[in-house]
Amino acid sequence: MPFGKQNYIIVLIGLALIALGFILMIGGGSTDPNVFNEKMFDFQHITLAPILVLAGFVVEIVAIFWKRK
């Protein structure tokens, strides 16, 4: 096997971070196109979610290069 058990655990952690980031990006819109909702531009949607997605991709790269001891 090219990857060990630790690699797969790290991959799952990375996938969870990516999924959590995309879930946090959901919402903040308005059902009425004539009403503007400021919640779309809060910290969660603009800052936290993209950081989690990028961190998830970094964790995936670490999982690929992780060597067994």
Region 48-55: mean pLDDT is 97
DSSP the chain: --S-HHHHHHHHHHHHHHHHHHHHHS----SSTTS--GGGGSHIIIIIHHHHHHHHHHHHHHHHH----
Q: What is the pLDDT of residues 15-42, one digit of tens each?
A: 999 999 999 999 777 788 888 878 888 9
Looking at the predicted structure, is the pLDDT value of residue 59 above 80? yes
Domain residue extents for the chain: 5-65
